Structures are given as structure tokens and as C-alpha cells.
């Protein structure tokens, strides 16, 4: 993945600060437990929902049932924003928030799906255990996910990542 160094936007941050290294932002994305995904409905209205996922190999992966609203939205427009953050009590002066913008692409390769299922299990334990059947995830008994007949898996490779907080303000990374 080609990546430029983060650039602090002086309109929204401290231009004299050093941008956070990409490795720190990537660790933050990897360690997050909850994310929000924003998709766009066919009529142009936004749709935002919380979800679990994994950051692996420079991209965010998530799953959705084939009958869920976010899947219907992706059928029309695959451009998404994924957010996560640690800002305490939604305060401005503490924590970090990150936005990933990109295009969701369906993962259908069995080996890649197995790798992602293992990543979910390693991150979330028994709460999110998946097996792979065909081109989708299926829940193992006792899993917390609700997929009703399987879940399609997507990866979002970032076009742009914006990090907020930690004294630098707003830093943008472009890919």
C-alpha cells in the first residue's frame, strides 16, 4: 500500500505539531472494538450503524447479512466511511477519533475468508466465531453475530484516513 505521510490541516489543528506516525493510527484501528459504518441509501440518505470488524493487511473488514440495509446500500453505492474513536464522553480535548474513507469490495476467496474468520475469533473470542461456507461467513454455535443464513464479508482499503485528537488536531493520510 502506498501511503503519504500524514498532513496536519492548519485550519483544524496545530500546524507546528508532528503528525502521528501511520503505524500508531493503524494500531488504533486494529485495536478498536467497535466501529461505525456510514453507507448511502438509494435515495441519497445516509445510513449509520455500529458494527464489529477487523483491521488487517491495511484494510478494514466487516460482514453483513445479504438482507440488511447496509447490504442494500452497498448494492447501489459501495463508497463508505468507517469511524471509530476513544474520545471520552464525546469531549473535544481528549482521546482520538479516526475516519476511514474508501470503497467496500466483497471478499469471496476462501483462503482470505478463512484468514478473516480467524482474525475475528482472535479479536473477539467466542462472541464472534465464524466458519466459511462457499463465499460467506456462517455463525458457529454460540456466536453473538446475527447473520440469518450467512454473512457477506467486505474489505475497505482506505483512500483517505483522517485522525483527530492527541494535540495535533486533524491529520489526513492519503493512499
**Per-residue pLDDT at 1:** 46
DSSP string of 141-152, one letter each residue:
TT-S---SS-EE
DSSP assigned state of 91: -
Cα 79 to Cα 163: distance, rounded to the nearest angstrom: 19
pLDDT 10s digits, 31-89? 999 999 999 999 999 999 999 999 999 999 999 998 999 999 999 999 999 999 976 55
pLDDT 10s digits, 154-163? 999 999 999 9
**Spans of all domains in the chain:** 7-108+156-174
pLDDT 10s digits, 126-165? 888 899 999 999 987 554 544 446 899 999 999 999 999 8
Residue from 139, 140, 141, 175 nearest 158 by CA: 175
Q: What homologous superfamily is domain 7-108+156-174 in, according to CATH?
A: Electron Transport, Fmn-binding Protein; Chain A (2.30.110.10)
Q: How confident is the model at residue 27 (pLDDT cuts 50, 70, 90)?
A: very high
For 110, the 3-state DSSP assignment is helix
Amino acid at each position: 500500500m502506498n501511503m503519504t505521510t500524514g498532513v496536519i490541516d492548519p485550519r483544524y489543528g496545530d500546524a507546528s505539531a508532528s503528525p502521528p506516525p501511520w503505524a500508531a493510527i493503524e494500531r488504533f484501528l486494529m485495536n478498536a472494538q467497535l466501529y461505525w459504518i456510514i453507507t448511502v441509501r438509494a435515495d441519497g440518505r445516509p445510513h449509520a450503524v455500529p458494527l464489529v470488524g477487523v483491521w488487517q493487511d491495511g484494510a478494514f473488514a466487516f460482514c453483513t447479512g445479504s438482507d440488511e440495509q447496509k447490504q442494500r446500500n452497498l448494492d447501489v453505492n459501495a463508497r463508505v466511511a468507517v469511524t471509530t474513536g476513544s474520545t471520552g464522553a464525546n469531549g473535544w480535548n481528549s482521546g482520538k477519533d479516526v475516519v476511514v474513507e474508501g470503497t467496500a469490495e466483497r471478499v469471496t476467496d476462501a483462503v482470505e475468508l478463512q484468514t478473516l474468520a480467524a482474525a475475528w475469533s482472535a479479536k473477539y473470542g467466542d462472541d464472534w466465531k465464524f466458519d466459511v461456507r462457499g463465499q460467506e461467513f456462517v455463525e458457529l454455535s454460540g456466536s453473538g453475530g446475527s447473520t440469518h443464513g450467512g454473512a457477506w464479508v467486505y474489505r475497505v482499503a482506505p483512500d483517505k484516513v483522517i485522525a483527530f485528537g492527541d494535540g495535533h488536531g486533524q491529520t489526513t493520510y492519503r493512499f
